[in-house]
C-alpha cells in the first residue's frame, strides 16, 4: 500500500488530494511502529516475554513449569534466556506496575481463598496457614488445647511456640465434624489441612467431614507429603481398595499392619526425615532397632488406650489424583481436584471442589479407562524420578540390567 502511494506521489503530484493521503499513510505507519515497538514480530516477542515473566513471577506456575520442562534442560534454558532478555520498549512504558505476586507458601495456598472467607483449619499446631494473628477469620481444630501443644513442642528445634494459637474445637475421636457444633456445619468457606490427610485412619470419612463443614461452594486446601521425598520413601503407593476397606470398617484407629510398616520402613536422608528434589545419598533407618520397635508397636497398638499418630497413606501427585477420580466414580466422595501442583520440597498442594461424582459419572467407560491409565503411567514416571535421584546419589553407577543391582554396594 505504501509503494502504491509513492507511485501516486510521483505520477500525480499535481493532484492535490494525493498529498493528504500520503501524509495520512505516513502517520499511520509511524503510529503502528510506536504501538508495536517496531512491527508485529516485535509485538509478538514483547507479548511472549511479558507472559513468560508473569508466569515465572508466580511460584505456583513456576513449580508447574519447572516440573514439565525438567526432561528438556536445553529448551528450558533457551526459554529462560528469552524471558529474561532486556525489553527496551517496556522500560520506556508508563504502564502501572502489576499486583505483587504470591511469594510465600501460605500465600500460594490461600490464593484461592477470599480474604473475608470463614476458614476452619485442621491440626495447624505450631504452623497455621491462616493465622488469626494475621487477620484471617479462622477457627482451628486440633487434638488438644493450646497450653498442651505449647508443652509438647517447647524446646524443639525450629519450633516457635508463640505461633500456636487458641484451639477452638478439640477432636477426641470419631468424625472430625463431630468436634464442631452442628450450628456451624455448612458455614465455612475453606477447609485447610496441612500434612493431616495422610494421618487419618479413614480418608473417605475425612473428606466427608469437609463436605459437612463447608458451604456448597466451599474449597478444600490440602498440603500433602510426597512419599518420594520424606520418611515414607520405601512405602508403596496407597490404592483405592485400601481406602475403601478403611471406610467400610469405619476405622478410628490405625491397624497393626499400618503400625508395623510405619516404624519398620521409616527412612532418613542425610539425617533428616524430609527433603526435596535432589540426589539421595545417605539413607538410614529412622529408628535404631526398626524391626524390633515395629514389632513392639504391632503387638501393643490394639490394647493401648493412647491414639498412635502414624502415616497411613502414601501419595505422589498423580496417585492422589487417581484416588480422587476412582472414589468419585464409585460415589464415595463428591470432591474433585480443581488444581494440583508437582512436588516442591517434600510436599505438593491440592485444591478440591464439589462436583467430582457428576464429572466422573459423565465419563464413558473408554474415557474413564483412558484417564485411569494415564494417571497410572504418570504415577509410575513419578516413581522413576525417585529412582533417578537415588541412582544419582550412589557412589558407584548401577546398571539396571545387572543381576546384582544395588546388592553389591551394601
pLDDT at 324: 98
Across residues 121-128, what is the average pLDDT?
Answer: 95
Is there a domain that residue 136 lies in? Answer: no
Percentage of residues of the chain with pLDDT beyond 70: 72
Q: How far apart are CA 8 and CA 2, in angstroms?
A: 10
259-263: long-range pairs with CB below 8 Å, 24+: 259/294, 259/297, 259/298, 259/301, 259/308, 259/310, 260/294, 260/295, 260/297, 260/298, 261/235, 261/294, 262/294, 262/297, 262/310, 262/311, 262/312, 263/287, 263/290, 263/293, 263/294, 263/297
Range of the domain at 43: 1-48
Report the range of poorest mean pLDDT among 40-44, 104-108, 139-143, 280-284: 40-44
Is there a domain that residue 134 lies in? Answer: no
**Shared-domain flag, residues 177 and 42:** no
Strand partners, 120: 139, 191
**Shared-domain flag, residues 180 and 325:** yes
pLDDT at 305: 86
Residues 6+ apart with CB under 8 A from 362: none
**Is pLDDT above 50 for 34?**
yes
Q: What is the pLDDT of residues 71-108, one digit of tens each?
A: 555 565 556 555 555 443 433 333 334 444 557 999 99
pLDDT at 94: 37
pLDDT at 9: 42
Predicted confidence band of residue 66 (pLDDT cuts 50, 70, 90): low
pTM: 0.74
Is there a domain that residue 82 lies in? Answer: no
Across residues 263-288, what is the average pLDDT?
Answer: 95
pLDDT at 333: 98
Contact 199, 171 (CB under 8 A): no
**Is pLDDT above 70 for 38?**
no
**Shared-domain flag, residues 370 and 224:** yes
Number of domains in the chain: 2
Domain end, chosen from 11, 27, 48, is at 48
Predicted confidence band of residue 53 (pLDDT cuts 50, 70, 90): low
Is there a domain that residue 294 lies in? Answer: yes
Q: What is the pLDDT of residues 286-342, one digit of tens each?
A: 999 999 999 999 999 999 988 899 999 999 999 999 999 999 999 999 999 999 999
Is there a domain that residue 128 lies in? Answer: no
Is there a domain that residue 104 lies in? Answer: no
Contact 164, 131 (CB under 8 A): no
pLDDT at 59: 60
pLDDT at 12: 43
Domain end, chosen from 10, 33, 48, is at 48
Report the range of poorest mean pLDDT among 95-99, 199-203, 251-255: 95-99
**Shared-domain flag, residues 182 and 323:** yes
**Is pLDDT above 60 for 236?**
yes
Region for residue 239 given its phi and psi (left: phi exceeds 0; alpha: psi -120 to 50; beta: otherwise): beta
Is there a domain that residue 130 lies in? Answer: no
Is there a domain that residue 195 lies in? Answer: yes
Q: What is the pLDDT of residues 125-174, one digit of tens each?
A: 999 999 999 999 999 999 999 999 999 999 888 899 999 999 999 998 88
Give the chain's mean pLDDT.
84
Amino acid at each position: 500500500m505504501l509503494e502504491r502511494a509513492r507511485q501516486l506521489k510521483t505520477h500525480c503530484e499535481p493532484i492535490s488530494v494525493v498529498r493528504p493521503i500520503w501524509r495520512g499513510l505516513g502517520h499511520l505507519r509511524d503510529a503502528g511502529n510506536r504501538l508495536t515497538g517496531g512491527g508485529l514480530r516485535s509485538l509478538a516477542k514483547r507479548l511472549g516475554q511479558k507472559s513468560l515473566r508473569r508466569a515465572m513471577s508466580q511460584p505456583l506456575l513456576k513449580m508447574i513449569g519447572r516440573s514439565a520442562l525438567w526432561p528438556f534442560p536445553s529448551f528450558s534454558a533457551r526459554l529462560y534466556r528469552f524471558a529474561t532478555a532486556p525489553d527496551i520498549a517496556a522500560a520506556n512504558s508508563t504502564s502501572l506496575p502489576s499486583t505483587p505476586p504470591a511469594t510465600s507458601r501460605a500465600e500460594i495456598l490461600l490464593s484461592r481463598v477470599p480474604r473475608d472467607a470463614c476458614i476452619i483449619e485442621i491440626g495447624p499446631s505450631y504452623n497455621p496457614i491462616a493465622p488469626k494473628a494475621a487477620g484471617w477469620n479462622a477457627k482451628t481444630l486440633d487434638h488438644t488445647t493450646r497450653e498442651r501443644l505449647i508443652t509438647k513442642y517447647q524446646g524443639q528445634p525450629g519450633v516457635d511456640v508463640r505461633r500456636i494459637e487458641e484451639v477452638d474445637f478439640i477432636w477426641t475421636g470419631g468424625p472430625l465434624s463431630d468436634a464442631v457444633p452442628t450450628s456451624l456445619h455448612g458455614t465455612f468457606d475453606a477447609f485447610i489441612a496441612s500434612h493431616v490427610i495422610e494421618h487419618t485412619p479413614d480418608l473417605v470419612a475425612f473428606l466427608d467431614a469437609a463436605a459437612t463443614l463447608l458451604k456448597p461452594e466451599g474449597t478444600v486446601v490440602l498440603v500433602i507429603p510426597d512419599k518420594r521425598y520424606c520418611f515414607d520413601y520405601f512405602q508403596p503407593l496407597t490404592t483405592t481398595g485400601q481406602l475403601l476397606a478403611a471406610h467400610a470398617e469405619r476405622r478410628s484407629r490405625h491397624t497393626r499392619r499400618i503400625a508395623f510398616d510405619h516404624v519398620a520402613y521409616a527412612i532418613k536422608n542425610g539425617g533428616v526425615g524430609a527433603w526435596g528434589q535432589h540426589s539421595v545419598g545417605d539413607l538410614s533407618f529412622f529408628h535404631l532397632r526398626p524391626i524390633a520397635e515395629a514389632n513392639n508397636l504391632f503387638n501393643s497398638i490394639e490394647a493401648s488406650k493412647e491414639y498412635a499418630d502414624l502415616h497411613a497413606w502414601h501419595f505422589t501427585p498423580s496417585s492422589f489424583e487417581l484416588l480422587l477420580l476412582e472414589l468419585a466414580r464409585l460415589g464415595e466422595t463428591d470432591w474433585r481436584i480443581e488444581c494440583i501442583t508437582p512436588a516442591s520440597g517434600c510436599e505438593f498442594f491440592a485444591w478440591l471442589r464439589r462436583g467430582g461424582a457428576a464429572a466422573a459419572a459423565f465419563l464413558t467407560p473408554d474415557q474413564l479407562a483412558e484417564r485411569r491409565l494415564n494417571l497410572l503411567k504418570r504415577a509410575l514416571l513419578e516413581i522413576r524420578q525417585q529412582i533417578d535421584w537415588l541412582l544419582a546419589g550412589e557412589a558407584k553407577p548401577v546398571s539396571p540390567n545387572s543381576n546384582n543391582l544395588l546388592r553389591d554396594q551394601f
